C-alpha cells in the first residue's frame, strides 16, 4: 500500500507541476522555488495540496513574486514524522527553498520545525497544525519567529467538542486519541474541558499507527460503559478503531475532531453507523472575503471546499507569498517571516485574496505601504506566537459529504471558553 501511495504522490506531484506550467500565462525570466510538505497520499491531504497550488497559479498569473515565477515543489509526508522531516530536509538542502508550506499534522510539523526550519532559518507556514505546543515553543523563543499557522489552536476544537457533549446530555465519555503531539495535546485539553462541564472521562486511550488490531485499546475504552466516545484520530487508525468499537458493542454516540472529516472514513465505517456522530471544526467567519473564496474555489475545482483545511491552506499559501514579495528578490527565510506583519496589517490597505489582490499588493508594498489581507478565513491576524483564532462549527456526515449543524462566531467561542475557566 505504501508503494502504491508513493507512486500516486509522484504522479500527483508531476501532474501539479504540469498543470502549473500549462496554466502560467506570465513569462518570467527567473524562478523561485518554495517547498510544500503535505500528506498527498491520503484522501483529505490531496485537496489541501491542490488548493496551495491553485494559489501559486494565481500569483504567477499576477506576475509572480519579485518578478520571478513561483515553482511549488511538493513532497508527500505520508502523515509520518520521519518521512516529513526527510522531505523537508531535501527541499531545504537540495532545492534551496527558503519557505516551507506545511505540514498538516502537528506531529509532523513539530519535528520539521525543530530539526529543519529553525536550524536552517527557513520560514514555515502551516495551514492546519493546531497543537498548543507550538505556542509554548514560540513563547520560549524557540521558533525564532519563523513559525506561523492559519489554523486555530486545539483549544478551540476541544472546547466545542465538550460543548457538543454537554448539549446532548452526555454524562460519561471515553476518549481514543492519536499518540502523537497533536493527539496528546487534544486529549489533555478535552479531558480538562469535559471535567469543567461535569462530564466524567471514563478512560482515555492512546492509539498508535499501524497496529494489526486495536481490540485491546477499544476494550479498555469500553470498560467504563461510557455514554459517548470522543475521537481524536486520523482516518486510517480512526476507521480501524471505530470498526472495532462498534463490533464490541460500543455506542454510536460519537464526537469527532475535524481530522475525521474524510470521505474515506465515512465510507469505510458506513454512514448507517454515523447517524449519532457529530464533528467539530474551526470555520471561516461569515464575511464577504470568505464567500468570495467559496465562489473562486467552486469556479476552479467545480465543487464546494468542504474538506478540512482548504480555506486555511489557501490563506497560508497566499500570505506566505505576499510576505516573500514584501521581503524582495532573494530573501532568506527569516527575512520573509519578518514581513508577515506587513501583509496582515489591520491598518493596511485592504486587498482581495486573488490574482488582482496580489498585483495590487505588489504596488502598495513597493511604495513602502502595508496591506490588510482579506482572505478565505477573513482578515487574518497573527499574535506574537504566530497563532490565529477562529469561529467554529459542528457538523454531521451526509450521503454526499458533510453538513453544518451549528455555527459559533469568534465571540461565542471565546465566551464559551471563558465560561469554563
> Binning pLDDT at 50, 70 and 90, where does residue 27 land?
low
Please say if the pLDDT value at position 224 is more than 90. yes
Q: Radius of gyration over alpha carbons of the chain, in Å?
A: 21
- Given this model, what pLDDT does residue 329 score? 96
pLDDT tens for each residue of 327-386: 999 999 999 999 999 999 999 999 999 999 999 999 999 999 999 999 999 999 999 999
pTM of the predicted model as reported, rounded to 2 decimal places = 0.82
> pLDDT band for position 15 (50/70/90)?
very low
**Over the chain, what is the mean pLDDT?**
93
CA separation, residue 374 to residues 326, 351, 383 (Å)? 17, 6, 17
Contact 366, 136 (CB under 8 A): no
Q: How confident is the model at residue 210 (pLDDT cuts 50, 70, 90)?
A: confident
pLDDT digits (tens, 9 = 90+) for 130-183: 999 999 999 999 999 999 999 999 999 999 999 999 999 999 999 999 999 899
Q: Is the pLDDT of residue 29 over 70?
A: yes
Mean pLDDT is lowest, of 14-18, 39-43, 114-118, 197-201, for 14-18
The answer, yes or no, to whether residue 127 has pLDDT greater than 50, is: yes
Asked whether the predicted pLDDT for residue 9 surpasses 60, the reply is no
3-state secondary structure the chain: CHHHHHHHHHHHHHHHHHHHHHHCCCCCCEEEEEEEEECCCCCCCHHHHHHHHHHHHHHHHCCCECCEEEEEEEEECCCCHHHHHHHHHHHHHCCCCCEEEECCCHHHHHHHHHHHHHHHCCEEEECCCCCCHHHHHHHCCCCCCCEEECCCCHHHHHHHHHHHHHHCCCCEEEEEEECCHHHHHHHHHHHHHHHHCCCEEEEEEEECCCCCCCHHHHHHHHCCCCCEEEEECCHHHHHHHHHHHHHCCCCCCEEECHHHCCHHHHHHHCHHHCCCEEEEEECCCCCHHHHHHHHHHHHHHCCCCCCCCHHHHHHHHHHHHHHHHHHCCCCCHHHHHCCHHHHECCCCEEEECCHHHHHHHHHHHHCCCCEEEEECCEECCCCCCCCCCCCEEEEEECCCCEEEEEEECHHHHHHHHHHHC
* Whole-angstrom distance, CA of residue 207 vs CA of residue 195: 22
Distance, CA of 421 to CA of 412 (rounded, Å) = 15
Where b means 16+ CB within 10 Å and e means fewer, 112-123 reads bbeebbbebebb
Start-end ranges of CATH 3.40.50.2300 in the chain?
2-151+309-379, 155-283+393-420
Would you state the cell numbers that stand for residue 420, as one nine-digit string? Answer: 469554563
Q: Is the pLDDT of residue 93 over 60?
A: yes
CATH class label, 2-151+309-379: alpha beta
pLDDT digits (tens, 9 = 90+) for 185-205: 999 999 999 999 999 999 999
CATH assignment of 155-283+393-420, among 1.20.1370.20, 3.40.50.300, 1.10.10.10, 3.40.50.2300: 3.40.50.2300
pLDDT digits (tens, 9 = 90+) for 275-331: 999 999 999 899 999 999 999 999 999 999 988 899 999 999 999 999 999 999 999
Which residues lie below 8 Å from residue 75, measured CB to CB, with a gap of 6+? 13, 35, 36, 37, 38, 87, 88, 90, 91
Q: What was the pLDDT predicted at 28?
A: 66
Amino acid at each position: 500500500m505504501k508503494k502504491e501511495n508513493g507512486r500516486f504522490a509522484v504522479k500527483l506531484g508531476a501532474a501539479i507541476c504540469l498543470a502549473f506550467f500549462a496554466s502560467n500565462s506570465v513569462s518570467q525570466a527567473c524562478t523561485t522555488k518554495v517547498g510544500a510538505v503535505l500528506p498527498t497520499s491520503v484522501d483529505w491531504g490531496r485537496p489541501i495540496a491542490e488548493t496551495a497550488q491553485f494559489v501559486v497559479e494565481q500569483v504567477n498569473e499576477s506576475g509572480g513574486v519579485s518578478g520571478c515565477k513561483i515553482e511549488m515543489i511538493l513532497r508527500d509526508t505520508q502523515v509520518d514524522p520521519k518521512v516529513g522531516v526527510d522531505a523537508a530536509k531535501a527541499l531545504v538542502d537540495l532545492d534551496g527553498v527558503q519557505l516551507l508550506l506545511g505540514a498538516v499534522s502537528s506531529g509532523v510539523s513539530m519535528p520539521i520545525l525543530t530539526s529543519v526550519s529553525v536550524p536552517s532559518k527557513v520560514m514555515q507556514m502551516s495551514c492546519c497544525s493546531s497543537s498548543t505546543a507550538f505556542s509554548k515553543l514560540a513563547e520560549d523563543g524557540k521558533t525564532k519567529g519563523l513559525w506561523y499557522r492559519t489554523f486555530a489552536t486545539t483549544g478551540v476544537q476541544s472546547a466545542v467538542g465538550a460543548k457538543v457533549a454537554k448539549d446532548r446530555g452526555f454524562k460519561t465519555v471515553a476518549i481514543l486519541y492519536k499518540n502523537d503531539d497533536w493527539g496528546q495535546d487534544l486529549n489533555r485539553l478535552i479531558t480538562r474541558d469535559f471535567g469543567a462541564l461535569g462530564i466524567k472521562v471514563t478512560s482515555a486511550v492512546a492509539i498508535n499507527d499501524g497496529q494489526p488490531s486495536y481490540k485491546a485499546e477499544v476494550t479498555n475504552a469500553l470498560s467504563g460503559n461510557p455514554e459517548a466516545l470522543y475521537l481524536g484520530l486520523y482516518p486510517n487508525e480512526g476507521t480501524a478503531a471505530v470498526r472495532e468499537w462498534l463490533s464490541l458493542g460500543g455506542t454510536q454516540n460519537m464526537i469527532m475532531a475535524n481530522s475525521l472529516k474524510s470521505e474515506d472514513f465515512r465510507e469505510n465505517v458506513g454512514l448507517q453507523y454515523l447517524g449519532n456522530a457529530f464533528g467539530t471544526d474551526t470555520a471561516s467567519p461569515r464575511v464577504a472575503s470568505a464567500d468570495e473564496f467559496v465562489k473562486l474555489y467552486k469556479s476552479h475545482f467545480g465543487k464546494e471546499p468542504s474538506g478540512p483545511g482548504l480555506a486555511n491552506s489557501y490563506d497560508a499559501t497566499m500570505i506566505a507569498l505576499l510576505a516573500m514579495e514584501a521581503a524582495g528578490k532573494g530573501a532568506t527565510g527569516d527575512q520573509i517571516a519578518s514581513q508577515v506583519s506587513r501583509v496582515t496589517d489591520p491598518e493596511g490597505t485592504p486587498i482581495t485574496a486573488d490574482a488582482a489582490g496580489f498585483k495590487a499588493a505588489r504596488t502598495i508594498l513597493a511604495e513602502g505601504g502595508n496591506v490588510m489581507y482579506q482572505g478565505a478565513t477573513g482578515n487574518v491576524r497573527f499574535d506574537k506566537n504566530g497563532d490565529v483564532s477562529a469561529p467554529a462549527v459542528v457538523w454531521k456526515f451526509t450521503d454526499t459529504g458533510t453538513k453544518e449543524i451549528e455555527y459559533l462566531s469568534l465571540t461565542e467561542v471565546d465566551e464559551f471558553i471563558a465560561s469554563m475557566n
